[in-house]
């Protein structure tokens, strides 16, 4: 059973709870990305079950008429077992999404999966354009990745990155990660395809808005994204100011590993969660 404080950040354990959360956010003018919790499966039947669950939530979204896409993790589809298996399961999900007039975002996991994730994304992109991917500003490789994704016309979600990564692969200080985030956001705003700027950082939000205004980029050409349960009042205020907002809504029975892992990964995440228990 889902318990507090996880109930603040996880919509619930089943499809009905996820749809209800999406409907409530839609009523406030906020779009949704539903994320079924789970990752790093080690058995093929687990990967198949995850694939079927994603197809099921796509059907639920269509039946309920809510404004939501889905976010997926390739390790939940069998990436640790075999990249080909994860790709086959992803293609099945993309075909289901197409049938329901929907689209899929591939989440970015830790750096050991970055190259594999982008390779799979690029292969499925050749035949399925209802798919997007995530990049992390903390990784040193991301600037080059963003240029390739822009040239493809891909839909990119920019995040700072929550995983603890080694210095050769990732920027280690918050100030440098922030500067990288701003530079990448500018590139995506200037030449990207409906980029999603995912941050709760007021300074980063201001930078994006100011850059868009300087370049004459209208708010309907990009969107902001935030997490479920974080700064809910700010999310509504952004919509009222004319900005597109999408909220990432996790749900599922595997909420406890998700919740505790976010706290273990970085000390800053503990502070972030505690602060947002009272911050609106």
pLDDT at residue 137, rounded to an integer: 98
Residues 121-140, mean pLDDT to the nearest whole number: 98
Is residue 52 annotated as a catalytic residue, yes or no?
no
**Two structure tokens written together for 119:** 């390779």
Pick the catalytic residue from 15, 51, 80, 107: 107
**201 a catalytic residue:** no
Entry pTM: 0.92
Best CA proximity match to 227, nearest among 279, 175, 184: 279
247 touches 235 (CB < 8 A): yes
User: Please, which residues have CB within 8 angstroms of residue 66's CB and are 6 or more apart in sequence?
Assistant: 19, 22, 23, 26, 32
Contact 156, 146 (CB under 8 A): yes
At residue 230, the pLDDT reads 87
Domains and CATH numbers, the chain: 6-276 (3.20.20.220)
CB atoms within 10 A of CB 274: 12
Report the pLDDT averaged over residues 105-130.
97
* Per-residue pLDDT tens digits for 249-274: 999 987 666 666 555 544 555 555 55
Q: Measured over all CA atoms, what is the biggest interatomic distance in the chain, rounded to whole angstroms?
A: 51
Set 15, 51, 155, 157: catalytic member? 157
């Amino acid at each position: 059973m889902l318990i507090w404080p996880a109930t603040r950040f996880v919509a619930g354990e089943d499809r009905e709870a996820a749809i209800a959360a999406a409907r409530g956010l839609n009523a406030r003018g906020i779009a949704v990305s539903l994320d079924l919790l789970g990752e790093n499966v080690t058995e093929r039947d687990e990967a198949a079950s995850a694939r079927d669950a994603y197809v099921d939530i796509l059907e639920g979204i269509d039946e309920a008429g809510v404004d939501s896409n889905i976010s997926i993790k390739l390790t939940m589809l069998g990436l640790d077992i075999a990249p080909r298996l994860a790709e086959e399961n992803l293609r099945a999900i993309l075909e289901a999404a197409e049938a329901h007039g929907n689209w899929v975002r591939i989440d970015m996991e830790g750096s050991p999966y970055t190259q594999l994730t982008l390779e799979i994304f690029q292969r499925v992109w050749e035949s399925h354009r209802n798919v997007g991917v995530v990049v992390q500003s903390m990784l040193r490789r991301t600037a080059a990745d963003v240029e390739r994704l822009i040239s493809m016309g891909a839909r990119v979600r920019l995040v700072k990155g929550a995983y603890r990564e080694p210095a050769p692969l990732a920027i280690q200080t918050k100030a440098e990660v922030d500067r990288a985030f701003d530079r990448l956001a500018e590139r995506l705003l200037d030449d990207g395809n409906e980029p999603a700027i995912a941050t709760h950082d007021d300074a980063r939000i201001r930078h994006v808005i100011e850059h868009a205004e300087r370049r004459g980029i209208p708010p309907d050409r990009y969107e902001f994204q935030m997490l479920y349960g974080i700064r809910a009042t700010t999310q509504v205020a952004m919509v009222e100011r004319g900005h597109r907002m999408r909220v990432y809504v996790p749900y599922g029975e595997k909420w406890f590993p998700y919740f505790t892992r976010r706290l273990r990964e970085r000390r800053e995440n503990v502070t972030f969660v505690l602060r947002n228990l009272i911050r609106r």
